[in-house]
A and B are shown apart, each in its own frame.
Chain A
Amino acid sequence: MAIDSKVVAQVAHLARLKVDEADSAALSDRLNDILAMVDQLQQADVTDVAPMAHPLDVTQPLREDEVSEPNVRDKALDIAPAAEDGCFLVPRVIE
């Protein structure tokens, strides 16, 4: 299915990106170019082929539920664009 400006707007919202209307048509064209290339995947016979997420099919390692990392709250807040009283600052969410 081809991507048009409406689909671009929907997907941009999902990805929390802002797309200017002036750029939307050109962006749709580029995305359609990419999807046309990707459509070669339809040639493959994938009957009974299990999807592969990890090249070596390893499992997620588990560890004891113990504190292993130091508290780095202040270090993390130091690099935040806005912080106060040990918290990240964002615009008011609840009126």
Chain B
Amino acid sequence: MSNAMHNKTLTELKAGLAAGDFSSRELTEHFLARIQQHDSELNSFITVTAEQALSQADAADQAIAAGNTGLLTGLPIAHKDIFCTEGVRTSCGSKMLDSFIAPYTATVVEKMAAEGAVMLGKTNMDEFAMGSSNETSYYGPVKNPWDLERVPGGSSGGAAACLGARLAPGATGTDTGGSIRQPAALNNITGLKPTYGRVSRWGMIAFASSLDQAGPMAQSSEDCALMLQAMAGHDHRDSTSLNEKVDDYLGALNNDIRGLTIGIPEEFFPDTLDGAIADNSRDAIRELEKLGAKVVSVSLPSVKLSVPAYYVIAPAEASSNLSRFDGVRFGHRCDDPKDLEDLYKRSRSEGFGDEVKRRILVGAYALSAGYYDAYYRRAQQVRRLIRDDFARAFEKVDVLMGPTAPETAFKLGAKKDDPVSMYMADVFTIGVNLAGLPALSMPTGFINGLPTGTQIIGNYFREGQILNVAHKYQQATDWHKQAPVFGGEQ
């Protein structure tokens, strides 16, 4: 029985715990053993918190025995190493924070712990969440469990790979330009980026503050609903967190989708798109039509400018956010600084990797005197055009759908020295971040043995509807249940 535990969804594990089929300690020990056994190949964790996990599991078992359970009691969860965890190293995938032991805990982690979640450890990621392949991590690249020569996507690559390999049943991620959805697609898992402001950013190390949003990653939409139920909500410590009622995501999962209108943006199926990727998403949409949804064509003409707008706005915000890493208050400090400027410059240059430095430089350039209007102001104007395109589409449709990523997992190293080609990995996901909308990626089949994903974009605060549509799809198909043959067992 225990061999099958790692293939179960969070929802199934929750039922198993309630029925007494296994204890949280047994479950936690099982996943810790799998991490121990397999993660040397994958490199999906930066830090494993075994001792803490087992003590949380024992507390969960006592809570279950006492009938005092929360949404996630006893369920093992992996947190992206971007979330501060008091007393545990929080590296953000960077040498800069290699020795940083967070002095406080992020709201997301705190809320999930309050609902009884057990933290298995901290997952690998692109440095400061800047990347689409998990190759910019100071801790080395993560491998894709479907093909160890390929990337898992990024920046939440460790989260997606550990879920794909069934080393954890649930994981948190963050998504600034596609960092939950693109790796979800590449590892055959489900991941949701909520509406901007739906989940607190407090204690989540900032990359681009007007775009960053945390969300759930798991095997199924139902599991994402369960996790989001615990993660979402207003937080007075995050001034951009929105004081909107949290919907009943679990309760909405089985809503009837007959009559639902799906918009297909023609810009998500350009002539240049790989035909197999396009067919794959069209098949997924057809499946929903069979369940009673209607399909209409829509156009989002400005969305083609998402990638250029993003690569002004995100680096500009990053150059400001990352100025806090100065070698004075926390993080890496160079040896024997000769003066304050030397301390700043060498600490930062030693602590940051190449991609982070490039983005800081692009941001500083775009914000510098003489270029502000041509770059930053214009990018923010285009951002409004993009948002308005989506708003017009949502007057006619309930959700928008298309491929999550323009290709399946690529080979390690394939785009490492070509930033612009790497940036195109997020061509279908970035517009959603600029507009602040919620979107989910779900598994929709395979091309040459590699997973693909299809994206469902909803209107503001319609996470419940997106999860509902994905859940209906997952009840009618079994793509999301496929796991890689990994480590010689299944």
A interface residues (Cβ-Cβ under 8 A, vs B):
3, 7-8, 11-12, 14-19, 27, 30-31, 33-44, 46, 49-56, 58, 60-61, 63, 72, 75-76, 78-82, 88, 90-93
Give the 10 A-B CB pairs with smallest separation, nearest first.
Answer: A55-B436, A51-B380, A81-B333, A52-B384, A46-B381, A18-B349, A16-B344, A15-B364, A49-B381, A18-B345
30 contacts between A and B (CB under 8 A): A15-B348, A15-B364, A16-B341, A16-B348, A17-B345, A17-B349, A17-B360, A17-B361, A18-B345, A33-B419, A37-B308, A37-B420, A41-B305, A44-B385, A46-B381, A49-B381, A49-B382, A49-B385, A51-B384, A52-B384, A55-B387, A61-B239, A76-B103, A76-B329, A76-B330, A79-B101, A81-B333, A90-B328, A93-B339, A93-B340
Would you call B360 and A56 a contact (CB within 8 A)? no
- CB B217 to nearest CB in A, in angstroms, measures 22
CB distance from B300 to the nearest CB of A (A): 13
Compute the total of residue contacts between A and B using a CB distance below 8 Å.
Answer: 164
B305 touches A44 (CB 8 A): yes
Residues of B within 8 Å of A46, CB to CB, are: 378, 381-382, 385
CA distance A8 to B368 in the complex (A): 12
Query: In the complex where A55-B435, A91-B339 touch, is A31 in contact with B365 (Cβ < 8 A)?
Result: yes
Bound state CA distance, A82 and B319, in angstroms?
Answer: 25
Q: Which residues of B contact A27 (CB under 8 A)?
A: 358, 361
Complex-state Cα separation, A41 to B387, whole angstroms: 15
Q: How far is A82 from B342 in the complex, measured between Cα atoms in Å?
A: 16
* B contact residues around A63 at 8 Å (CB): 236
* A91–B347 CA distance with the chains assembled, in angstroms: 13
Q: Is B88 interfacial (CB-CB < 8 Å)?
A: no
Bound state CA distance, A35 and B375, in angstroms? Answer: 9
Return chain B residues, CB-CB under 8 Å to A18.
345-346, 348-349
B325, chain A: closest CB distance, angstroms? 10
Give B contacts to A, CB under 8 Å: 100-101, 103-104, 196-197, 210, 236, 239-240, 242, 302, 305, 307-309, 311-312, 319, 323, 326-333, 337-346, 348-349, 352, 357-358, 360-365, 368, 375, 377-385, 387, 418-420, 423, 434-437, 460
Asked whether A52 lies within 8 Å of B378 as measured between CB atoms, the reply is no
Give min CB distance, B228 to chain A, whole Å: 18
Distance in angstroms between the alpha carbons of A46 and B373 in the assembled complex: 12
Q: How far apart are the CA atoms of A34 and B310 in the complex, in Å?
A: 11
Q: Which of A8, A44, A72 contacts B361 (CB 8 A)?
A: A8
Q: A18-B349, A40-B305, A90-B340 are in contact. Are A50 and B100 (CB under 8 A)?
A: no
Contact in complex: A11, B365 (CB < 8 Å): yes
> Quick one: given A43-B305, A80-B328, are A91 and B338 in contact (CB under 8 Å)?
yes
Expressed in whole angstroms, the Cα–Cα distance for A55 and B476 within the complex equals: 34
Would B378 and A44 count as touching, CB distance under 8 A?
A: yes
Whether the Cβ atoms of A41 and B309 lie closer than 8 Å is yes
Which residues from chain B contact A30 at a C-beta distance below 8 Å? 358, 419
The reply to whether B349 and A11 form a contact with Cβ atoms under 8 Å apart is no
Give bound CA distance, A88 to B340, whole Å.
13
Closest to A92 in B: B339
Chain B residue nearest to A88 (CB atoms) is: B328
Taken together as a complex, chains A and B put the C-alpha atoms of A39 and B101 apart, in Å, by 41
Chain A neighbourhood of B348, CB < 8 A: 15-18
Q: Which of A7, A16, A55, A81 contacts B330 (CB 8 A)?
A: A81
The minimal Cβ–Cβ distance linking A10 to chain B, given in whole angstroms, is 8
A76: B residues at CB distance < 8 A:
103, 329-330
- Which residue of B239, B342, B420 contacts A34 across the interface (Cβ within 8 Å)? B420
Distance, CA A57 to CA B9, complexed state (A): 38
CB distance from A45 to the nearest CB of B (A): 9
Is the beta-carbon distance between A3 and B365 smaller than 8 angstroms? yes
A55 and B439 CA atoms in complex are apart in Å by: 15
Q: Report the bound CA distance from A53 to B312 in whole Å.
A: 13
In the assembled complex, the Cα of A15 lies from the Cα of B326 at a distance in Å of 11
> B329 to A88, Cβ gap below 8 A?
yes
* Pairwise interchain contact A16-B345, C-beta atoms closer than 8 A: yes
In the complex with contacts A40-B305, A43-B305, A79-B101, A52-B387 CB distance below 8 A: yes
- Known A14-B368, A17-B348, A81-B327; judge A44-B333 contact (CB<8 A): no
**A14 CA to B312 CA in the complex, in Å?**
17
The residue that A39 contacts in the complex, of B240, B308, B381, B437, with Cβ under 8 A, is B308
Set of chain B residues within 8 Å of A8, measured between Cβ atoms = 361
Contact A54 B345 (CB under 8 A): no
Quick check: A41 and B196 within 8 Å, CB to CB?
Answer: no
Chain A residues with Cβ below 8 Å from B343 are 90-91
- In angstroms, Cα B302 to Cα A52, docked, is 14
Name the distance in Å between A7's Cβ and chain B's nearest Cβ: 7
In the assembled complex, which residues on chain B have CB atoms less than 8 Å from the CB atom of A93?
339-340
Which residues of the partner chain B approach A88 to less than 8 Å between Cβ atoms?
Answer: 328-329
Q: Is B357 within 8 A of A17, CB to CB?
A: yes
Determine which residue in B305, B312, B381, B418 has the highest number of CB atoms from chain A within 10 A of its CB, and name it: B381
In whole angstroms, how far apart are the Cα atoms of A35 and B327 in the complex? Answer: 30
B385 A38 Cβ-Cβ under 8 A: no
Closest B residue to A40 by CB, please name it.
B308
